[in-house]
Amino acid sequence: MPSGDAAAHHARRRPRAIAAVALSTVAAATIGIVIGSGFLSGGGDASPADAPAAAPAATSQATPSQATEPIVAPEVAGATAGPQVSVSPSLDLDQHSIDDPGSIWVVVNKHRPLDPIRYEPEELVSVGSGTQMTPEAASAFGALREAAADAGAGFSTSTAYRSHGFQAGLHADYVAKWGAARADDFSARPGYSEHQTGLAVDVYESAACRLKACFADETAGRWLAAHAHEHGFIVRYAEGAEDITGYRYEPWHLRYVGVELAAFMREQGIATLEEVFGVDPAPDFP
Ligand SMILES: [Zn+2]
């Protein structure tokens, strides 16, 4: 059963517009500091081979002016017309649980571990590259990958589902290498990773930009930013939302939430699950 985080559940009843404005204000006030720390890639994701060892290249995009821009879904220049997705402006945000790890709307972040912490999806199917997703997410991902390839924006899959045990090993490696505080900035603790739900997948185009912010500037990265929502995916760790999601910009980390919610967030210009559901920002582990 979903645990029902009482505080979070209550919080989501707040009018969304007000919640979003408040979050954006908080983020804008502190974002310059976070960006300034400079340690870019890796997200909840980096595989051992892609650990940020070579990554600390200073972030090129952080400028004072950007720090005060509102946090919105990415605008992509030259987005071509895709399938028109029509959603009701009054999408019922209670139709799926945000607590149940088997729900396509589950919100997992540094304040919201999976419950149970060693949760495993009931069923997983292969999405290639030796990795798996839940059947619904895998089906949507297959369609996304095909559409991208048709558009000349093909990409490869890094990892999708990661078990609690796998994430534990991964995180321990990072802690050993970087120290606990730094590791927590880019690697989820076991039980706190979206990958454990079977709804998240990391993709890449070139090896050079694998698990790095420069993926956003590659053909596939640009295409996904413009079209992932048409197949029910969002770029979960949005640019400029570190203080809300707890992770740096990860243009390669896609999270399946279904077409309805993905399109709704796009239309409303809401970049994060925390904002759309009105749950508290989770910049750090408690
Ligand atoms: Zn990821």
C-alpha 236 to ligand 1 mean position (Å): 9
Residue 1 lies in a domain: no
C-alpha 260 to ligand 1 mean position (Å): 22
Which residue intervals of the chain are DSSP H helices?
6-11, 16-36, 64-67, 135-150, 164-178, 180-186, 219-227, 242-245, 259-268, 273-277
How many angstroms from the chain centroid is the CA of residue 179? 23
Q: What pLDDT, on the 0 to 100 scale, is given for residue 30?
A: 34
A 10 A CB-CB count for 108 gives: 28
Which of 93, 78, 106, 125 minimizes the C-alpha distance to 227? Answer: 78
235 phi and psi, to 5 degrees? -80, 100
| 10-residue mean pLDDT series, the chain (286 residues) | 38 41 38 31 45 38 38 44 57 96 98 97 96 98 98 97 96 95 91 97 98 97 98 97 95 98 96 97 93
pLDDT digits (tens, 9 = 90+) for 99-153: 999 999 999 999 999 999 999 999 999 999 999 999 999 999 999 999 999 999 9
pLDDT digits (tens, 9 = 90+) for 43-59: 466 543 334 433 333 33
C-alpha 237 to ligand 1 mean position (Å): 9
Q: What pLDDT, on the 0 to 100 scale, is given for residue 44?
A: 61
C-alpha 47 to ligand 1 mean position (Å): 9
Q: What pLDDT, on the 0 to 100 scale, is given for residue 46?
A: 53
Residue 285 lies in a domain: no
Residue 286 lies in a domain: no
pTM of the model: 0.73
C-alpha 194 to ligand 1 mean position (Å): 7
C-alpha 137 to ligand 1 mean position (Å): 14
Q: Which CATH number do you get for residue 130? A: 3.30.1380.10
Q: What pLDDT, on the 0 to 100 scale, is given for residue 43?
A: 47
Q: What pLDDT, on the 0 to 100 scale, is given for residue 186?
A: 87
C-alpha 88 to ligand 1 mean position (Å): 29
Q: What pLDDT, on the 0 to 100 scale, is given for residue 6?
A: 37
Q: What pLDDT, on the 0 to 100 scale, is given for residue 88?
A: 56
- Tell me which residue range forms the domain holding 183: 6-277
Residue 188 lies in a domain: yes
C-alpha 188 to ligand 1 mean position (Å): 9
Q: What pLDDT, on the 0 to 100 scale, is given for residue 87?
A: 52
Residue 284 lies in a domain: no
Whole-angstrom distance, CA of residue 156 vs CA of residue 142: 12
Task: Report the domain count for the chain.
Answer: 1
